Structure 1
Amino acid sequence: MAFNLTVDDFDPLVAYSNYGDWQTPNPQDNPTWWNATQDVTGSQWHQDTYHLTTVSGAQASFNFTGSALQIFGGTGANPNYTVSIDNNPSTLTTANNTAGRTLLYGNDSLPFVPHTVQITNHGGGLLLDLFVVGTKLGGDGATFTNTTVDDRSTQTLSFQPGGGWTQQTGDNFFNQTSTYTGAQGANVETNFTGSAVWVYGDQVNDHGSYTVYLNNTAVGTYTQRSGCANGYAKSCEKLHGLAFFAGPLPQGQHQLKIVNAGTNGQGQQTFFDFDYLEYTTPSVWPQLAVAGASTSAGGSASGTNTGSATSSAPATTSSHKSAAADGGFGTALLAVVAAAWVVRKVVS
């Protein structure tokens, strides 16, 4: 049965070539807007976030298993970018878009196998907002039983070491609770029977890398560092980030384990937040199911913000100028972005 996976531009599943190549709003200004409608946010962008670049060579990428992909965002008056699926580049032409979100790329006839997508800017302006993946989590006519596991579900979850994790509370967490760690090698583990699993957690600029294992196989390394390029700090907090997704998975029970790196390349302590996870169990399992690393969604891009998964292809980047420069992006789209900021100040 067809299913659309929505991946926001801020989600850890998307990897960016370098933080300094991209401009983003600060989700900490309005922490509840990850779940707000447009009439509340006054913004045309999904969850009122975006990643905007004018840097030639700036890249974003992630992995997915599915037969369809749509990428939404914006361009200036002279769009110049390419999208590569599995290292097969396609030079794109699109209608000049200076008035809001548009379809940057769409393909509904991909083979239903693992893919890597990379989008590269070539000197014009590029804004990334949302990725939608068409996949299949159940067989024809399937119904689904969804199960949510909160961080306090100790009968289901195992946090190791026990003293390496800290429980916290807050109105914006699921069930008002979350659990985090800054300990190197600290991990959370669970078993579930389902065709797909989603993991959610907080993103902050003092968070860092974590590795995900499925059935004792490492399937990807991602980062919960948030997207604002203002250095290592407890800043730029984004709630409800999609830390991991896997699907479709073969029939049976699966073991999920997430391990915190605990440090970055500068020797600073990094954290991982676990808020909750969800998994779905179909009444009819999908026939086209793959196991292990090929099921994971994640990204691989060179630079400061690096995520990787087994099936990802390497990306290269060359930063020639500051993302703050206009670089031919077009004042009209910049005005649209500025207008979104004005609206959100009025609403808030």
Structure 2
Amino acid sequence: MPTYNVTVQDVSTLIAYSAGWVDSNHDDPLWANYNGGTFHATQTPGASAEITFFGTACWVFGAKRSNHGSYTVTLNDSDQFTGSGFSDNNVFQTLLYNNTALPLGTHVLTIANGNDPNKFVDIDWITFTSGDGNSSSAGVTTTLDDATSNFTYLPSVDAWPSQANNNLAPQYFNSTLHATNEQNVQAVISFEGNAVYLYGATSDNHGIFSVQIDDGPISNLNGSAPTFRPQTLLWYQGGLKAGAHNLTMTNTGTSVLANNWMDVDYVVTETFASPPATSNQGSKAKTPIIAGVVSGVGILLIWIIAGLIFWSKRKKRRSRFAMEEARAYYFNVSPPDPVIVPPDPVVVNGSCLPGPLQSNSTPTPDVAAGRDRKRRPDMGRAITTPGAINEATSFSSLPMQAPRPSTSSLLSAPAANNVRRALQPHSPLGSTNQPSWTTLLFTQSSSTGRSITSSILPSNSQLSAPIREQDWGPVEMVTLPPDYQQATERRTPPG
């Protein structure tokens, strides 16, 4: 429930005064400076006033004057405060004591006069704060008049005589009241709420009465006052559980009937509850909507997860397929097609007779070695030096293919030492044997005048095909280093 303040005037029966207190002494020329023109004061050392309240904070207001002395305030019989009401300049309606750090619950506050002789302490009003501070709670205030059906008068309505001709009736709420001077006569008020206020009148012909909420403790109150005071707060009770309650008011006075009146005017109830919930129909209407939203979100999450799994697997398949394609490309290369190597032009021109093959059997080309030779073209190269015959080192280590020479390059003889080499596999015409490897080396005349030709040619049976210029293989031009004579020859400077 939200917090709210309850103000209790000094004339309320909620404040229980011990002997020695004077109610609103009008012999005091400054009495009108008090709130509502009422106050309770005492000169009796140790005279006390007590109030029981339900809340979290409290404030006590009074006056500080030149004839006031010390006072003590005790809270819950443990926390004691000593203050001074003395002031050279009169101060009215001022704070005498406060405590704002109380736990929510029922507390008892007692204020007592000090031991200073002939010094006063007075009370103007007391305020306390109730509620738990939950501002979201909605408060509903209901006023119940004494003429409503919420009031039940016992033992019968006859014990409560009519006040229709009472000239004080207009001063009551709605100009109605119920009053009795019979002992043990009760008024039972039924209400619903968390707090209840009971209002009536105090007067010089009113006496002691009691109040009880449900089966709770009984509180005895004094309705006596030096003057008539209508619509006075007689009782307050907070911290009630939500629901129906009964307040029972009983006239317990033992004085003569003329001074034992008790009256009841009206009751105010307060109900604090959380914001009202929607009806059952609204709840039922919202249930399918909530279920639909939850189901939709769940299905969406399932689709998202399935899509991520599918995308991840597809990406893995594509990556694996790409790796397999690359592996097939690099490791499953087909061997090159065999080509026909043209015969040595020197043999064709008749300069040299064809020589015997290195082996009587036709070797089988090594495909793996051919792949290696593609990577390293320098393997299996024949080296020609002046005055020596060069031969290929190994058939299997020769390159698979070499550039084809032109006719002019084969027939020309440059001044420098040039070696032309053609390396080709060839298949003899008209033969079903595997192609053999042939290294062709052509060495042109050097400066020494020597011409060296070395070749490994197929046998005569392999040269049955006519020789064509376009069948000649490519020739690689290699510049030979000078021989010893050239390197040591003394050169005559020009001119």
TM-score using structure 1 length: 0.69
SS of equivalent to 1:201: strand
Q: What is the alpha-carbon distance in structure 2 between the residues aligned to residue 173 and residue 52 of structure 1?
A: 28
The residue type equivalent to 2:235 in the other structure is F
* Equivalence for 1:315: none
The residue type equivalent to 1:70 in the other structure is W
Counterpart among 112, 116, 122 of residue 120 in structure 1:
112
* Equivalence for 1:253: 244
- The structural deviation recorded for 1:268 is 6.4
Change (3 A) 1:137 1:254: farther
* Equivalence for 2:254: 263
* Equivalence for 1:2: 3
* Equivalence for 2:197: 198
Counterpart among 107, 118, 127 of residue 99 in structure 2:
107
CA deviation map 1:136-183 (0-9, x unaligned): 077431222211111111x21101122111232522110011110111
* Equivalence for 2:17: 16
Alignment of 1:330-345 (within 5 A): none
Alignment of 1:203-282 (within 5 A): 203-226=202-225, 228=226, 236-264=227-255, 269-282=259-272
* Equivalence for 1:51: 40
Q: What is the alpha-carbon distance in structure 2 between the residues aligned to residue 65 and residue 196 of structure 1?
A: 10
What's the Cα RMSD here? Answer: 2.2
Change (3 A) 1:173 1:253: same
The residue type equivalent to 2:251 in the other structure is N
Change (3 A) 1:156 1:23: closer
SS of equivalent to 2:174: helix
* Equivalence for 1:159: 153
Gaps of 5+ in 1: 27-41, 229-235, 286-348
Alignment of 1:80-91 (within 5 A): 80-88=70-78, 89-91=80-82
Residues 263 and 269, structure 1, Cα contact 8 Å, conserved in 2: no
- The structural deviation recorded for 1:284 is 2.6
Q: What is the alpha-carbon distance in structure 1 between the residues aligned to residue 213 and residue 3 of structure 2?
A: 23
Q: Which has the higher helix share?
A: 2
Change (3 A) 1:52 1:93: closer
Counterpart among 146, 150, 157 of residue 141 in structure 2:
146
CA deviation map 1:98-153 (0-9, x unaligned): 13221000111112221111100113221210100011077431222211111111
Instruction: Work out the number of aligned pairs and report it.
Output: 259
Counterpart among 114, 126, 138 of residue 131 in structure 1:
126
Q: Is 1:66 matched with 2:67? A: no
Alignment of 1:309-324 (within 5 A): none
Q: What is the alpha-carbon distance in structure 1 between the residues aligned to residue 60 and residue 135 of structure 2?
A: 27
Residues 73 and 110, structure 2, Cα contact 8 Å, conserved in 1: yes
Q: What is the alpha-carbon distance in structure 2 between the residues aligned to residue 163 and residue 263 of structure 1?
A: 21
Q: What is the alpha-carbon distance in structure 2 between the residues aligned to residue 70 and residue 138 of structure 1?
A: 18
Q: What is the alpha-carbon distance in structure 1 between the residues aligned to residue 132 and residue 200 of structure 2?
A: 23
Q: What is the alpha-carbon distance in structure 2 between the residues aligned to residue 23 and residue 144 of structure 1?
A: 35
Gaps of 5+ in 2: 276-495
* Greater C-alpha radius of gyration: 2
SS of equivalent to 2:190: strand
Alignment of 1:274-293 (within 5 A): 274-284=264-274
Residues 85 and 118, structure 1, Cα contact 8 Å, conserved in 2: yes
Residues 208 and 225, structure 1, Cα contact 8 Å, conserved in 2: yes
- The structural deviation recorded for 1:25 is 4.5
SS of equivalent to 1:100: strand
Of 209-218 and 170-179, deviating more is 209-218
Residues 70 and 85, structure 2, Cα contact 8 Å, conserved in 1: no
Change (3 A) 1:6 1:276: same
- The structural deviation recorded for 1:199 is 0.6
SS of equivalent to 2:7: strand
Q: What is the alpha-carbon distance in structure 2 between the residues aligned to residue 116 and residue 147 of structure 1?
A: 27
Q: What is the alpha-carbon distance in structure 1 between the residues aligned to residue 128 and residue 135 of structure 2?
A: 19
SS of equivalent to 2:158: helix
- The structural deviation recorded for 1:217 is 2.7
The residue type equivalent to 1:157 in the other structure is F
Residues 200 and 264, structure 2, Cα contact 8 Å, conserved in 1: yes
Q: What is the alpha-carbon distance in structure 2 between the residues aligned to residue 271 and residue 127 of structure 1?
A: 28
Residues 3 and 137, structure 1, Cα contact 8 Å, conserved in 2: no
Residues 35 and 93, structure 2, Cα contact 8 Å, conserved in 1: no
Change (3 A) 1:280 1:202: same
Q: Which has the higher strand share?
A: 1
Residues 138 and 282, structure 1, Cα contact 8 Å, conserved in 2: no
Residues 185 and 251, structure 2, Cα contact 8 Å, conserved in 1: yes
SS of equivalent to 1:55: coil
CA deviation map 1:187-244 (0-9, x unaligned): 1112211010001001012211111121123331111111x3xxxxxxx111111111
The residue type equivalent to 2:10 in the other structure is D
CA deviation map 1:71-101 (0-9, x unaligned): 0001333531000101122222467361322
SS of equivalent to 1:171: helix
Residues 201 and 232, structure 2, Cα contact 8 Å, conserved in 1: yes
- Which protein, 1 or 2, shows the higher relative CO under an 8 Å CA cutoff with sep ≥ 6? 1
SS of equivalent to 2:162: strand
Q: What is the alpha-carbon distance in structure 1 between the residues aligned to residue 108 and residue 236 of structure 2?
A: 15
